[in-house]
Amino acid sequence: MSEHDSGTDRDADAAPAAAGPCTELPEGWAYDAEASGIGVLPVDMFRSIGKPVKRREDRRLVTGKGRFTDDFSVAGQLYAAMVRSPYPHARIRAIDTAAAQEAPGVLAVLTGQDALDDGLGPIPHNPVPSTRFDVKLRAPDGAMPFIGPHLLLPVDKARHVGEAVAMVVAESRAAAEDAAELVEVDWEELPHVADSLDAMAPGAPQVWDEVPGNAFVDSAFGDEAAVDAAFAEAAHVASAKFHVNRVTAVTMEPRAALADYDPETGRSTLYAGSGGAVRQKRELAETLGLDPADLRVLSHDVGGNFGARNRVYVEFGLVLWASRRLQRPVKFTATRSESFLTDYQGRDLNTHVQLALDADGRFLAMKADNVSNVGARCVSLSPLSKGSGLITGSYHIPHAHLRARAVFTNTMCTQAYRSSGRPEVTYAIERLVDIAAEEMGLDKIELRRRNLVAPTDMPYRTAMGSIYDSGEYEANMDRAMALFEWDAIPARHADAEARGKRLGVGLANYVESSIGTPKERAEITVAPGGQVEVVIGTQPSGQGHETSFAQVVADMLQTPVERVRIVLGDTDKVSLGGGTHSGRSMRHAGTVMAMASADLLRKARTLAADRLGFPPEELDFTDGAFSHRDSNQTVTLAELATADAPLFAARTNEMHAPVFPNGTAICEVEIDPDTCRIEITRYASIDDVGRCINPMIVHGQSHGGIAQGVGQAMWENCPIDAESGQPLAGSLMDYGMPRADNVPFYDVGISEVLSPTNPFGVKAGGEGGTTPALATVTLAVLDALRPLGVRDISMPVTPERLWQALHAAPQATESRT
């Protein structure tokens, strides 16, 4: 990824302007129909785009024909098992592998020293977001931050429970696991720290000697003087501290990798489901010091990602390395226990937010102090970075100041997790707005209405420098409230009370950013039979790309959607591509597929002109065929393709401008104050996704997104025992999840305010379900408990937490009989 300099860089020391309509848009921000080569999109010819075309991948997936990584086996394959640290922090004095080497079926026992001796390097995670529009996170001294090298196996010490410190490769999985127990590590236990605020306290244990105090990123953004002035004259200041809990993805398919080495060619093939095979190939080749041409990565069907699979896992590099050393295929499949300990985790943000308001409830300024717990080393700063650009949420807040820090702890690394960074800051601002409304005696909805960014102010530059591209925020809120039957809340309240339940409602507006890796490439081939093959570098894990991408190309080429096949996840075919994250896929892939389609049609037009005997510019193109008004002859794309010369076009596109999906979600809960049971009884949302290619798929994405956000708010949690440093939720016995019987049916609506930044006007879908859900659930629970004196509760809002809150509340005793 390249660094670009332009006037829009958000450096920590740049003097930021007050928020407001953005009059000077950066170059390349808006979509340029002419420069793109697409021209004006034939919107009237959309036949498939916008239709709920059924997902063509589902028959394969629901009939057991999916090709997940663990489904692959190669004759003669060996199995790898990891020796993992039982301690959160411990020096490796020595590793004795002798007994394990002698065990039956064992071919190799490898340590970090062996990896160093073989010249292996750290995984080049590249964690600092680097598009032109990302905030610039830096070390306390302003330099690029030290991220903690991620060696495949550490040589100095283990920095979190479950960190792999040695690998056993054997003829069977059982033999590998048996031998792994025979590896003797001479540990020296060290003091440990799991909480990011504790880690910054004086005298805290050091995770890395290179970073005293553990905070390796410390950057400030915004106009501090203007913020201080606004706070000084504010009629009211609302203030709160929140912890957005740590969660893990719990993918249905545990992570797995199978490496196969061909001694004849010197090439390795790695079967490894991920968020994008191209990145896996690039980073693994660099880790192992391989020529990228000698590595093929296959990522076919992927059983859940949510961000956890976007970054390279050490085991992927380890099986690759072992297979080359032993010249045998080597497989690793994580157990559920290993997944809980060592899948990249999500969230874990401490935030202190303050909002200054005038006497009429107009927002004047905001302060935020955000601390991201990245774990034992930094694989991604995306959560902190994405959230930094969005602390002011959907509201016009003239001035804001943010201090953003990232901290090492003795915990598993965190990564971008579905809607990276945005649910965290949405939770903070929406809870803060509710607090301000309550403290000032204002209506929560009216207070929001008064401060939402107006459509007439779009594009709008926030006090953090983000440029919101488009959106009708107040209309979203009104539509969501109508869908929710807001006016009938009092009646439902009375009904619940008659049944001994307490009803509560939480509303959250959200705006999120979709940035993501800026480059994407599409290659489109039309075969003589008329079949269209599209090679693209995104990687679905359930999002339905094989359907929605085919809809785009089908309309561009005016061919039936059934004829279009999408090819993904094989680096021998996909040479470049940013993978799937940050809601980038439809926007980036849709744009570059449209460009390649336009290129292909230009070539076809020239060929058709020859065939029909008219100048190319005089030809019409309808229903997939070229014709001329003076002739009854036509020629189709299929007829222009030959076996020797199929129609082919390829395009690489780079697009930096982010888009800002937005919307409103509302949750209703009923609480039994005796049992502390919380039941979600109603959930409505409006999501502005820009152009919606397939509403059925977008709805499905919203449903899943909501469940994921609700899951974090209600059940999911990765707590760590402060004394022992041990994770307390190591299995599904202790890690609660959303299930079909504990989430309601959702009322979801789509809004299509087209983004001016790309040809289709796409924003993004799916993450919008997750982003506001943490806030809506928590606010609904607090709304229900307010009459009982409860003012605060932290996620997940379990019955136990409710019980504690009710007993700590001042009015608890008299109200609870």
Partner 1 sequence: MMYDFAYHRARTLDDARAAFRDADDAAYVSGGHSLLPTMKNRLAAPDRLVHLTAIPELRGIARDGDRLVIGAAETHAGVAASPVVQEAIPALAALAGSIGDPQVRHRGTMGGSVANNDPAADYPSAVLGLGATIHTSEREIDADDFFAGMFTTALDEGEIVTRIAFPVPDSAGYAKMRNPASRYALAASFVARFGGDVRVAITGAGSDGVFRWHEAEEALAARFEPGALDGLAVDPDGMMSDMHASAAFRAHLCAVGTARAVANPGRLTLLA
The phi and psi torsions of 377 (rounded to 5 degrees) equal -155, 165
| Residue 692: partners with Cβ closer than 8 Å, 6 or more residues away | 50, 698, 750, 752, 765
d(CA 227, CA 205) in angstroms, rounded, equals 35
Under the binding rule (CB under 8 A), the answer on residue 252 touching partner 1 is: no
CA dihedral 187, 193, 199, 202 (to 10 degrees): -70
Of residues 254, 252, 295, 279, the one with CA closest to residue 380:
279
Map residues 350-379 to x or -, x wherever contact with partner 1 holds by CB under 8 A: ------------------------------
Measured from the CB atom, is 301 or 716 closer to partner 1?
A: 716
Select the span of 49-57, 169-177, 461-469, 696-704 touching partner 1 (CB under 8 A): 169-177
Measured from the CB atom, is 427 or 715 closer to partner 1?
A: 715
Measured from the CB atom, is 531 or 804 closer to partner 1?
A: 804
Measured from the CB atom, is 178 or 469 closer to partner 1?
A: 178
Of residues 48, 29, 52, the one with CA closest to residue 593:
48
Select the span of 250-258, 353-361, 453-461, 714-722 touching partner 1 (CB under 8 A): 714-722
Q: For the CB of residue 201, give the shortest distance to partner 1 in the complex, in Å.
A: 24
Under the binding rule (CB under 8 A), the answer on residue 744 touching partner 1 is: no
d(CA 754, CA 476) in angstroms, rounded, equals 14
Measured from the CB atom, is 241 or 807 closer to partner 1?
A: 807
Under the binding rule (CB under 8 A), the answer on residue 178 touching partner 1 is: yes
Map residues 440-479 to x or -, x wherever contact with partner 1 holds by CB under 8 A: ----------------------------------------
d(CA 512, CA 235) in angstroms, rounded, equals 29
Measured from the CB atom, is 228 or 672 closer to partner 1?
A: 672
Q: Show the tokens assigned to 669.
A: 């809960």
Query: Across the beta sheet with 164-170, what order do the strands follow?
Result: 106-111, 164-170, 78-84, 330-333, 256-262, 267-271, 295-298
Q: Show the tokens assigned to 372.
A: 């991201």
Q: For the CB of residue 245, give the shortest distance to partner 1 in the complex, in Å.
A: 12
Number of residues near partner 1 (by CB under 8 A): 28
d(CA 661, CA 609) in angstroms, rounded, equals 43
Which residue has tokens 């959160």?
88
Under the binding rule (CB under 8 A), the answer on residue 104 touching partner 1 is: no
Q: For the CB of residue 729, give the shortest distance to partner 1 in the complex, in Å.
A: 8
Q: For the CB of residue 583, give the shortest distance to partner 1 in the complex, in Å.
A: 29
Q: For the CB of residue 316, give the shortest distance to partner 1 in the complex, in Å.
A: 21
Among 4, 51, 67, 173, binds partner 1 (CB under 8 A): 173
Among 529, 800, 810, 813, binds partner 1 (CB under 8 A): 800
Contact 580, 276 (CB under 8 A): yes
Rg (CA), the chain: 27
| Residue 683: partners with Cβ closer than 8 Å, 6 or more residues away | 665, 666, 667, 668, 706, 710, 743, 744, 746, 747, 776
Q: For the CB of residue 81, give the shortest distance to partner 1 in the complex, in Å.
A: 9
Under the binding rule (CB under 8 A), the answer on residue 174 touching partner 1 is: yes
Under the binding rule (CB under 8 A), the answer on residue 201 touching partner 1 is: no
Map residues 322-341 to x or -, x wherever contact with partner 1 holds by CB under 8 A: ---------------x----
Map residues 671-710 to x or -, x wherever contact with partner 1 holds by CB under 8 A: -x-xxxxx--------------------------------
Q: For the CB of residue 596, give the shortest distance to partner 1 in the complex, in Å.
A: 47
Among 124, 213, 719, 744, binds partner 1 (CB under 8 A): 719
CA 345 to chain CA mean position, Å:
11
Under the binding rule (CB under 8 A), the answer on residue 737 touching partner 1 is: yes
Select the span of 7-15, 174-182, 491-499, 576-584 touching partner 1 (CB under 8 A): 174-182
| Greatest extent of the chain over all pairs of C-alpha atoms, in Å | 91
d(CA 479, CA 495) in angstroms, rounded, equals 24
Residue 813: half-sphere exposure toward Cβ, Cα within 13 Å: 1
Map residues 289-328 to x or -, x wherever contact with partner 1 holds by CB under 8 A: ----------------------------------------
Among 57, 71, 177, 286, binds partner 1 (CB under 8 A): 177
Under the binding rule (CB under 8 A), the answer on residue 733 touching partner 1 is: yes
Cβ neighbours around 197 below 10 Å, total: 16
d(CA 598, CA 40) in angstroms, rounded, equals 11
Measured from the CB atom, is 10 or 84 closer to partner 1?
A: 84
Of residues 650, 567, 581, the one with CA closest to residue 298:
567
DSSP 669: E
Q: For the CB of residue 635, give the shortest distance to partner 1 in the complex, in Å.
A: 58
Q: For the CB of residue 796, give the shortest distance to partner 1 in the complex, in Å.
A: 8
Measured from the CB atom, is 554 or 784 closer to partner 1?
A: 784
Under the binding rule (CB under 8 A), the answer on residue 799 touching partner 1 is: yes
Query: Across the beta sheet with 467-468, what order do the strands follow?
Result: 20-21, 460-461, 467-468
Cβ neighbours around 133 below 10 Å, total: 22
Q: Show the tokens assigned to 815.
A: 């109200």
Measured from the CB atom, is 107 or 179 closer to partner 1?
A: 179
Under the binding rule (CB under 8 A), the answer on residue 728 touching partner 1 is: yes
Q: At what angle do helices 444-451 and 422-440 cross, to 10 degrees?
A: 120
Select the span of 186-194, 369-377, 483-491, 728-736 touching partner 1 (CB under 8 A): 728-736
Q: Show the tokens assigned to 201.
A: 């306290």
Q: Show the tokens assigned to 370.
A: 């955000």
Cα 438-442-444 angle, rounded to 5 deg: 75
Under the binding rule (CB under 8 A), the answer on residue 808 touching partner 1 is: no
d(CA 126, CA 123) in angstroms, rounded, equals 9
Of residues 370, 463, 357, the one with CA closest to residue 422:
370
d(CA 549, CA 533) in angstroms, rounded, equals 11
Q: For the CB of residue 737, give the shortest distance to partner 1 in the complex, in Å.
A: 8
Measured from the CB atom, is 575 or 742 closer to partner 1?
A: 742
Measured from the CB atom, is 3 or 803 closer to partner 1?
A: 803
Under the binding rule (CB under 8 A), the answer on residue 798 touching partner 1 is: yes
Under the binding rule (CB under 8 A), the answer on residue 171 touching partner 1 is: no
Binding site for partner 1 (CB under 8 A): 173-174, 177-178, 337, 672, 674-678, 714-715, 719, 728-729, 732-737, 798-800, 803-804, 807
